[in-house]
Structure 1
């Protein structure tokens, strides 16, 4: 069974295929140039559309009615599958909020810059995680602080 992260990566890969095109941002051009911003805007919108399309399919299946499996084991298995599906959709709902925030940052000219240090996040990181708000170093420091506070 695929994990939520694997599903997220698959949906992002699908979004990349949807926007297609020959343009791929590179470190050779000026950072967050208009073509780069347009690329990430299109990628984020395609990612969001993929998530919403998948959610619509889940909603349609839920509206078909309750599970009517005659065998208790089959019913338990189906209910477990639905529980996983609903948790995945909840995770994706939260992801849509992050995508919307990234789109707002593009419009405000803040996209691609670390919210902690103000430094460029980097094209490679944004390609891997278009909703990133921190550089790798700032994210690692944040996670270390979070771990320390949890351990207390």
Structure 2
């Protein structure tokens, strides 16, 4: 992978990280400001459901942050863009679609096929 590609992905991952952190801060602000009491039980339940959904999204973001940080570590130690399964290069289009990936499309497809067979 060329240095320009590495820089592109480093910047992309850092931007993804910044965006997620911004969403997290925004969620905290919204949750502290949105402490209105709802007299109607249906309104209260709806607000509680919305909060639970947002918290689930932030939990997914928390997991994505870990993957982003791991991808940045792989960039630093020269392993970024190399499949952990077969040691082949991961294609640039795949990395653009999922920059935190650790598997090439062939190995990921194989993994998904094995998982679907186990679930049947």
TM-score normalised by the chain length of structure 2: 0.94
Show the 5 A alignment for 1:60-99: 60-64=29-33, 66-99=35-68
**Runs of at least 5 residues in structure 2 that lack an aligned partner in the other structure:** none
For residue 118 of structure 1, what is the aligned residue in structure 2?
Answer: 87
- Structure number with the bigger relative contact order (C-alpha 8 A, sep ≥ 6) is 2
Aligned partners of 2:4, 2:111: CA distance in 1, in Å?
A: 31
2:78 aligned to which of 101, 109, 112? 109
1:139 aligned to which of 93, 108, 112? 108
Q: Which has the higher helix share?
A: 2
Aligned residues: 120
1:45 aligned to which of 5, 8, 14? 14
Aligned partners of 1:112, 1:63: CA distance in 2, in Å?
A: 41
TM-score normalised by the chain length of structure 1: 0.75
> Kindly tell me: are residues 142 and 67 of structure 1, through their superposed partners in 2, closer, same or farther at Cα, counting changes over 3 Å?
farther
RMSD between aligned residues? 1.2
Q: Residues 76-132 of structure 1: CA distance to partner in whole angstroms, max 9, x if unpaired?
A: 111111111000000000000000000000001010111001111101011111111
Aligned partners of 1:67, 1:113: CA distance in 2, in Å?
A: 50
Aligned partners of 1:110, 1:67: CA distance in 2, in Å?
A: 49
Aligned partners of 1:126, 1:137: CA distance in 2, in Å?
A: 13
